[in-house]
Amino acid sequence: MDFLEYEILDEVDGLKIRDYLKYDKKLSSRFIKQSAIEKRIFVNNLSVKLNYYLKKGDKIKIKIHRKNETQSIVPIQVDFEIVYEDSFILIVNKPKDLVVYPSKSHDVSLSNGIMYYFKTNNIDSIVRPVNRLDMNTTGLLVIAKNQYSHMFLSNCMIDNIFYKEYIAIVQDNMKDTKGIIEKNIFRPSEDSVKRTVHDSYGKFARTIYEVVKRFDSCDLVRVKIETGRTHQIRVHMSYLGNPIVGDKMYGSCVSSVSRYLLHAYKIKFPHPYTNDIMEFKVDIPSDMMDYIKKPK
């Protein structure tokens, strides 16, 4: 599983390998260029340049894994659950109160923990998160172990074949038990963290929701997003008048929880090497279960 392999079965007239890989196989220009520079592209077991003209019967091999990649993330031991791992991807269950990347205000992150895991297990990889989760959002996060896997899965997200489903606890009871929200998400200024719904400006966002169970003062809601805008679920739930419990930025008045109650519980996507459909689920975390069990 170290190579991508293709065979030219049809007659090709004046087709360069660069164009074949980019337009037929949908590989990114960056991946193709780096593979060529590092002499990882072979035709009939011989290294070739990107201006090589293909012919029927040619067998292409591209070495996937790059050696000795570096990244300025300090290895730090952090507790997290590994849900699945192979030589292409690592899937983890992100705990609450942990950012994905280190920053000026958070010098310990999930990425530090993953780098520590890679180093201690002699895994030659850097940390490449595919999907995004905010600090207070728990759940499934996919890490690509190589450049090709990251490119492939990022394209899956663009093509809307990377399925993401969340569980949220929203404040009060929703007017409709299911629905679709199609509202732009707008960032008022570059300095603003908070987003808002806007009819004319911003980026289009589509959220599908369904109430799973009603309680006296909240609803347990299953949410699917078909676009990946920053704070999308938080903004759209607030727009409906049902902010996520604990999400003070977007209007929640509940102060008895330490975070907003949002959990990425299900993902489904094609594997970057085998193309088999992979599906993973994780349980709702204990703090969310505790909240809906407590009398309000």
Residue 12 has pLDDT above 90, yes or no: no
d(CA 51, CA 179): 51
Residue 44 has pLDDT above 60, yes or no: yes
Residue 41 has pLDDT above 70, yes or no: yes
In percent, the amount of the chain with pLDDT more than 90 equals 81
* Three-state secondary structure call for residue 234: helix
Angle between helices 29-37 and 147-158 (to 10 degrees): 170
For residue 223, name the pLDDT band (cuts at 50, 70, 90). very high
Give CA angle at 69 (132, 79), nearest 5°. Answer: 45
Spell out the domain ranges in the chain: 3-63, 164-264
Distance of CA 56 to the CA centre of its chain: 38
Q: Compute φ and ψ for 166, nearest 5 degrees.
A: -120, 160
Instruction: Tell me which fold the domain 164-264 belongs to.
Output: Pseudouridine synthase (3.30.2350)
Q: What is the pLDDT of residue 207?
A: 97
In percent, the amount of the chain with pLDDT more than 70 equals 99
Q: What's this model's pTM, rounded to 2 decimal places?
A: 0.87
Strand partners, 25: none
Q: Which residues does the annotation mark as catalytic?
A: 134
Residue 296 has pLDDT above 60, yes or no: no
d(CA 269, CA 259): 28
Closest CA to 12 of 60, 46, 61: 60
In the numeric block, which tokens belong to residue 216? 């006296």
For residue 295, name the pLDDT band (cuts at 50, 70, 90). low
Closest CA to 225 of 242, 243, 204: 204
The superfamily CATH assigns to domain 3-63 is: RNA-binding S4 domain (3.10.290.10)
Residue 284 has pLDDT above 80, yes or no: yes
Q: Tell me, yes or no, if the two domains 3-63 and 164-264 fold the same way.
A: no
